[in-house]
Structure 1
């Protein structure tokens, strides 16, 4: 059983996610805005947070950044939105979001994302425990996440953004985007990395990649050629 925080301003979505996750045996807390989410985060240690992007007081990306800058992004955060853009995805990923769920959220996608997030949370907890044991000081301060300086930054504390542990390895590790370039180039870079990840995971199977990405095969082929994705290499790797 895991402690999960669901942050969404829509009552129906909060109730639906809570019901599904409770049925899976998890303990679920609910917050309808960023203020309630902050208070819940201060009083409880969560294994996972489901965070809506568009909220009336403070948007989810701003809250994610706030947690990251305060060193409070110690759990995987899954962003949720029905209107997310590539630019939003790039920004949230850079800050430390674990993954995205597009609304309306199906139960299958929800449970898969939660399972992956909790697996990462458990791995991070084990790594932290091993590091503490290795230092021989169980009461010492927790190891802090490494800092990444924004492109073109000065290296000062103000320019640094904490990098979440789950971004150091795994499927998001290769997405070190250079945001100091035209929007179209940044978007193409994100999309190319996205499709290469799915091609590698599915062993180069275009049928399975089409299902995963929600694209028709003909459109998918055209998109991959446009982005310059090496299909032969992904098939060989698969």
Structure 2
């Protein structure tokens, strides 16, 4: 989970990016102009900034130059614009922007650029706790479930592998209680609800990773979760 600052004077763009990045488990701050962006940069030190070029008070390139001049360009910045020329994009990159996204922004390009930006924003390595493996076997149903956790002390200092055990037992219990006396449609919906809740829980609410795990397109996954009444957002805001 990262702290991402979105700077854009268009409310619709801000809300859309906030929803998408929030679904990925990130904390999103919004700014509608350069002044709000300066204040957010000073208060929260974002891990990454999505910065629009054309804004009414101070344009994004000017703000980027300001941060670079004052030594505040310590985070990856991805520029956005629907009207910028190639020269503008090249200039922004020369100043220090990591990437440039053209509006309307394609979902996969956005997520890829954000992932690359966060990968570049490397923190000091911390010791990793040895991987804990938990096996839960149900001999009657011949089902074996395995989960893995690999975490740093900073993120999981109050947790242990019993959390994974508890999660698996809950989903296994729900599966074992699935009634075969239900009509086919209802039984299928009940199974799919358990299935998607399990993967959402495991992937910390990341819609991208769940889509990859289940083999569904992201838009199809959204529609399926809405149809089943599964709220993905609660799995991404558990303080992990």
The 5 Å alignment of 1:31-180 reads: 31-122=31-122, 125-126=123-124
Distance 1:59 1:2 in 2: 25
Measured in 2, the distance between the counterparts of 1:103 and 1:126 equals 34
Structure 1: how far apart are the matches of 2:108 and 2:86? 23
- 2: CA distance, partners of 1:78 / 1:86: 15
Runs of 4+ more than 6 Å apart: none
Post-superposition offset of 1:103: 0.2
| TM-score normalised by length of structure 1 | 0.52
> What's the CA shift string for 1:117-143, capped at 9, x where partnerless?
000012xx338x9xxxxxxxxxxxxxx
RMSD: 1.3
Is 1:26 matched with 2:26?
yes
Could you tell me which runs of 5 or more consecutive residues in structure 2 were left unpaired when the two chains were aligned.
Answer: 127-240
**Cα distance in 2 between the residues matched to 1:112 and 1:100:** 12
User: Any stretches of 5+ residues in structure 1 without a counterpart?
Assistant: 130-238
After superposition, the C-alpha distances for 1:16-61 in whole angstroms (9 at most, x for unaligned) are 0000000000000000000000000010111100000000000000
| DSSP 3-state at the match of 1:101 | strand
> In the aligned structure 1, how far is the partner of 2:111 from the partner of 2:93?
20
Q: How far is the alpha carbon of 1:102 from its aligned partner? A: 0.4
CA distance in structure 1 between the aligned counterparts of 2:105 and 2:93, rounded to whole angstroms: 19
Structure 1 CA distance for aligned equivalents of residues 50 and 73 of structure 2: 13
1:141 aligns with: none
Corresponding residue number in structure 2 for 1:2: 2
Give 3-state SS (helix, strand or coil) of 1:126's partner: coil
Larger Rg: 2
**Aligned partner of residue 80 in structure 1, secondary structure:** strand
Larger RCO (CA under 8 A, 6+ residues apart): 2
SS in 1 for 2:121: helix
Distance 2:13 2:37 in 1: 16
Find the aligned partners of 1:66 and 1:126 in 2 and give their Cα distance.
27
